[in-house]
Chains A and B, each alone.
Chain A
């Protein structure tokens, strides 16, 4: 765990990469496979974004977040979202307290006052409770009883949701979804990874994890990312990708025109740009390439596409649409 105070971009990039790899290695002690997921979660964290992890139960979503929190030496809290969860259970509430013989209402912070918040099964909570996270995620603050309380930085929400169980779930509203930097799909591990998981978790001992990066490191890494220059050509490519996710756009591919009701927002473009820069540093480059943009586009756009009725009815995978958009934008 090192904290750099240098202005040399080379040093900063080196620090970024080393810290990133160190955390990934640490996480890798517990999480088998899922390298892309781990990398993207880390990229999102470095960029100050929130991640929505989607996958069937038992794939290690919660474990990944737990491991990450441990490896990052950040204050970690978890909320298990249930239908009866109230917004005050998330952001905090005022309680009557007696102090020196006087009774007064004092603010009791909720679990969001942390650095890494695991919002487990976020789609099980009511939209009211889900919305309680909105201000927290975007503004990094909480307003209760007309009083605004800032949350310490860094702050990341790592939410999970189960795509299969639809009974008693409340799909996240578009506004909430748009606030997630990435939506990552946790897939079933491969055969070898399966064996490795069983081997690691089947014994008496569990891998011991230690913090490898601090909150300051994460903030520094975020600052480094912003220094990476992007050529206009690449920027145009990025804008083309985001714009062509809209069915009204002239150059939009036919898949978009047919299955998409609404495309990605400028916030998606910001996310892609930041993620691309992070990926460029990880690739030891001082410029962003179109490959970086294309790689960041899928997790950044997939949850921001609102499918049309036809798209929903035909079960269109938004990833396919994003791939078509990328192919068209080249």
Chain B
């Protein structure tokens, strides 16, 4: 009996398996068909290595799932056989009694009855649930799904694939090249330049240039790094101070003193490092003056010197040095003052400490000006920094002035001039006193020495600031070079690929292009820039700068000219008419002249 039931079960499950296979084939084929069509609609070839194995997997999983869910147990098979052969639940009952270990004569009899009934029955009589329709549908859908693999990708897709491959290779190449360039750049940095920008930050930018096969993503990455470089360049931007120093430099060229002229020349050329070095000559060299007490002998000598007009020059050597220095500081201060007046006419007057204290209070900074330290100054907004009284810098320890931010250059210059002026006044007073035979006291002497020392330290602070500005300028130029290199990593319109200009290209000196190059083979080095560079809308970093509103004239000249010409034509045609009175013609002529006479001054003004 058990065997019979198992045979029934096997046959039923076989049928279920066939049906499950057919059903899952239809479902998987439909899924594969839709999936494949999505490729074809987009112009791609069906990715056979993914789609068809996935289809087979779906068939296997579905068939297994259906079979698992629907497969018959022994009892179900027995019930099926009872129904199919009209056995009146003999098999199911017998099987259940057997499975539940029912013992007794009656159960034996029941089992025997069941066995007798199945003796003449063959499980093969149960038809397999093989559906011809289902098989045909499964076959057709499978063939349809399979036939999609014959479709080839469109030309556009082939191009896109090629482009992706090229992009991937190029982005990798760009990354490696830029990495190398950045390392070279970092190695070439001086200590001051390294202070201006963190080399690790630059390395971090390069890491963002990842390898990608998406052209847009690659360009976006490049543009992103470019933007970061631009931001850093902007931070290193010191244009106002540079212009101030340049203006001062131009003024210095008119000085009588050659040393001042030299510095002026350097400043004019924005060679701040050189200027800083030349400033060394302007130090008052106070270290040579020993801080010794003035003994009676020396005092007598000083008195004698003061009375002796021939030795007066020697005594006034320092005064001369100071005079030279003042020639310099005055010009520097003037330039700073002038620059400040231009940029902010309202703050042309130097603010007193009290006024500045009020400003601080208005800005919710609960500190007195005297309480501000260097860190506080770095945090102050630019408008407050512009108003900063220069004497406030005198409150700082002289050693700290070396660390003043570039924003305070003008204040430093003004302070320098003020201090130089004070020193000169002191020395003049001392000279007068000496000439009157009144020797200076020890305190006055020490005060003078301290002033001299402070003056030198102020010059040193200026030197430091100039050196820093030079470093920032250099760093800016280097970053601009890097930015330029990245900016050149763009799409070549002819080959539609990314490239990085590794060399400057062109021919060596003396071998420039000639007029016959269109006819002959171009011997220019192929740096992929000799093709016609044509921008592609929406792709590539923006190279053009946006002009600010106030930099333009506000009037389109071409349009204005055309308008004027049109008016002239109208006027002349009107004047030529005979049906119009002479008065009217004059009036119209005057009208048009008035229009353009009004426009002209406004144009000039805007220009």
Cross-chain contact A233 with B75 (CB below 8 angstroms): yes
Among the listed B79, B88, B107, B113, which residue makes an inter-chain contact with A233, where contact means beta carbons less than 8 Å apart? Answer: B79
At the interface, yes or no: B92 with Cβ under 8 Å from chain A?
Answer: yes
Among the listed B75, B79, B92, B97, which residue makes an inter-chain contact with A229, where contact means beta carbons less than 8 Å apart? Answer: B97
At the interface, yes or no: A286 with Cβ under 8 Å from chain B?
Answer: yes
A19: chain B residues within 8 A (beta carbon): none
Cross-chain contact B106 with A229 (CB below 8 angstroms): yes
Cross-chain contact A233 with B105 (CB below 8 angstroms): no
B97: chain A residues within 8 A (beta carbon): 229, 231, 287
Cross-chain contact B113 with A285 (CB below 8 angstroms): yes
A228: chain B residues within 8 A (beta carbon): 106
At the interface, yes or no: A234 with Cβ under 8 Å from chain B?
Answer: yes
Cross-chain contact B109 with A9 (CB below 8 angstroms): yes
At the interface, yes or no: A191 with Cβ under 8 Å from chain B?
Answer: no
Among the listed B79, B82, B100, B109, which residue makes an inter-chain contact with A286, where contact means beta carbons less than 8 Å apart? Answer: B109
Query: Min CB distance, A67 to chain B, in Å?
Result: 31
Cross-chain contact B105 with A289 (CB below 8 angstroms): no
Category for how many chain B residues contact A: 10 to 19
B94: chain A residues within 8 A (beta carbon): 287
Among the listed B89, B102, B105, which residue makes an inter-chain contact with A290, where contact means beta carbons less than 8 Å apart? Answer: B89
Among the listed A9, A232, A286, which residue makes an inter-chain contact with B96, where contact means beta carbons less than 8 Å apart? Answer: A232
Cross-chain contact A233 with B109 (CB below 8 angstroms): no
Query: Min CB distance, B550 to chain A, in Å?
Result: 82
At the interface, yes or no: A193 with Cβ under 8 Å from chain B?
Answer: no
At the interface, yes or no: A146 with Cβ under 8 Å from chain B?
Answer: no
Cross-chain contact A286 with B89 (CB below 8 angstroms): no
Cross-chain contact A286 with B110 (CB below 8 angstroms): yes
Nearest-CB residue, chain A, relative to B112: A286
A contacts with B: majority SS: loop
A233: chain B residues within 8 A (beta carbon): 75, 79, 89, 92-93, 96
Chain A count of residues within 8 A CB distance of the other chain: 20
**Interface readout for A225-239 with B: 1 if CB under 8 Å, 0 if not?**
001111111100000
**Interface readout for A254-282 with B: 1 if CB under 8 Å, 0 if not?**
00000000000000000000000000000
Query: Min CB distance, A275 to chain B, in Å?
Result: 15
Query: Min CB distance, A232 to chain B, in Å?
Result: 6
B90: chain A residues within 8 A (beta carbon): 285, 287, 289
At the interface, yes or no: A291 with Cβ under 8 Å from chain B?
Answer: yes
B109: chain A residues within 8 A (beta carbon): 9-10, 286
Cross-chain contact A234 with B106 (CB below 8 angstroms): no
Query: Min CB distance, A214 to chain B, in Å?
Result: 25
Nearest-CB residue, chain B, relative to A12: B106
Cross-chain contact B113 with A286 (CB below 8 angstroms): yes
Cross-chain contact B89 with A234 (CB below 8 angstroms): yes
Assuming the contacts A9-B109, A10-B109, A287-B110, asked whether A231 and B89 have C-beta atoms less than 8 A apart, the reply is yes
Task: Provide the bound-state CA to CA distance between A289 and B86, in Å.
Answer: 10
Task: Provide the bound-state CA to CA distance between A283 and B87, in Å.
Answer: 12
Cross-chain contact A289 with B88 (CB below 8 angstroms): yes
Assuming the contacts A285-B88, A287-B110, asked whether A231 and B93 have C-beta atoms less than 8 A apart, the reply is yes
Task: Provide the bound-state CA to CA distance between A228 and B102, in Å.
Answer: 12
Residues of B493-540 at the interface with A, using a CB-CB cut-off of 8 Å, are none
At the interface, yes or no: A8 with Cβ under 8 Å from chain B?
Answer: yes
Cross-chain contact A227 with B113 (CB below 8 angstroms): no
Nearest-CB residue, chain B, relative to A283: B88
Nearest-CB residue, chain B, relative to A233: B92
A9: chain B residues within 8 A (beta carbon): 105-106, 109
A287: chain B residues within 8 A (beta carbon): 89-90, 93-94, 97, 110, 113
Task: Provide the bound-state CA to CA distance between A234 and B79, in Å.
Answer: 10
Query: Min CB distance, B134 to chain A, in Å?
Result: 26
Task: Provide the bound-state CA to CA distance between A289 and B100, in Å.
Answer: 18
A288: chain B residues within 8 A (beta carbon): 89, 93
**Interface readout for B72-108 with A: 1 if CB under 8 Å, 0 if not?**
0001000100100000111011101100101001110
Task: Provide the bound-state CA to CA distance between A285 and B93, in Å.
Answer: 11
Cross-chain contact B88 with A229 (CB below 8 angstroms): no
Query: Min CB distance, B261 to chain A, in Å?
Result: 108
Query: Min CB distance, B118 to chain A, in Å?
Result: 14
B105: chain A residues within 8 A (beta carbon): 8-10
Task: Provide the bound-state CA to CA distance between A150 and B403, in Å.
Answer: 124
Task: Provide the bound-state CA to CA distance between A292 and B107, in Å.
Answer: 18
Cross-chain contact B106 with A231 (CB below 8 angstroms): no
Task: Provide the bound-state CA to CA distance between A229 and B109, in Å.
Answer: 11
**Interface readout for A9-21 with B: 1 if CB under 8 Å, 0 if not?**
1100000000000
B96: chain A residues within 8 A (beta carbon): 231-233
Assuming the contacts A9-B106, A285-B113, asked whether A229 and B93 have C-beta atoms less than 8 A apart, the reply is yes
A227: chain B residues within 8 A (beta carbon): 106
Cross-chain contact B92 with A231 (CB below 8 angstroms): yes
Nearest-CB residue, chain A, relative to B87: A289
Nearest-CB residue, chain A, relative to B109: A286
Task: Provide the bound-state CA to CA distance between A228 and B96, in Å.
Answer: 14
Cross-chain contact A229 with B110 (CB below 8 angstroms): yes
Query: Min CB distance, B147 to chain A, in Å?
Result: 45
Q: Which of B75, B93, B105 has the most CB of A within 10 A?
A: B93
Query: Min CB distance, B604 to chain A, in Å?
Result: 95
B89: chain A residues within 8 A (beta carbon): 231, 233-234, 287-291
Task: Provide the bound-state CA to CA distance between A233 and B100, in Å.
Answer: 12
Task: Provide the bound-state CA to CA distance between A285 and B117, in Å.
Answer: 11
Nearest-CB residue, chain B, relative to A231: B93
**Interface readout for B194-215 with A: 1 if CB under 8 Å, 0 if not?**
0000000000000000000000
Task: Provide the bound-state CA to CA distance between A228 and B113, in Å.
Answer: 14
Task: Provide the bound-state CA to CA distance between A229 and B110, in Å.
Answer: 9
Cross-chain contact B107 with A229 (CB below 8 angstroms): yes
Task: Provide the bound-state CA to CA distance between A291 and B86, in Å.
Answer: 10
Task: Provide the bound-state CA to CA distance between A228 and B109, in Å.
Answer: 11
Q: Which of A10, A288, A290 has the most CB of B within 10 A?
A: A290
A290: chain B residues within 8 A (beta carbon): 88-89
Query: Min CB distance, B102 to chain A, in Å?
Result: 7
Query: Min CB distance, A17 to chain B, in Å?
Result: 14
Nearest-CB residue, chain A, relative to B86: A291
Nearest-CB residue, chain B, relative to A330: B83
Nearest-CB residue, chain A, relative to B92: A233
Cross-chain contact B88 with A286 (CB below 8 angstroms): no
Q: Which of A283, A287, A291 has the most CB of B within 10 A?
A: A287
Q: Which of B75, B82, B88, B102 has the most CB of A within 10 A?
A: B88
Query: Min CB distance, A326 to chain B, in Å?
Result: 15
Nearest-CB residue, chain A, relative to B107: A229
Task: Provide the bound-state CA to CA distance between A184 and B97, in Å.
Answer: 34
Task: Provide the bound-state CA to CA distance between A300 and B82, in Å.
Answer: 25
**Interface readout for A60-89 with B: 1 if CB under 8 Å, 0 if not?**
000000000000000000000000000000
Further contacts, 17 of them, CB under 8 A, given A9-B105, A229-B97: A9-B109, A10-B109, A227-B106, A229-B102, A229-B107, A231-B89, A233-B89, A233-B92, A233-B93, A234-B89, A234-B92, A283-B88, A286-B106, A287-B93, A287-B113, A288-B93, A289-B89
State the 3 A-B residue pairs at the shortest beta-carbon distance, nearest first: A289-B88, A231-B93, A287-B93
B-to-A contact residues, CB < 8 Å: 75, 79, 82, 88-90, 92-94, 96-97, 100, 102, 105-107, 109-110, 113
- For this complex, 6 residue pairs linking A to B, each with C-beta atoms less than 8 Å apart, are A229-B93, A232-B100, A233-B96, A283-B88, A286-B109, A288-B93
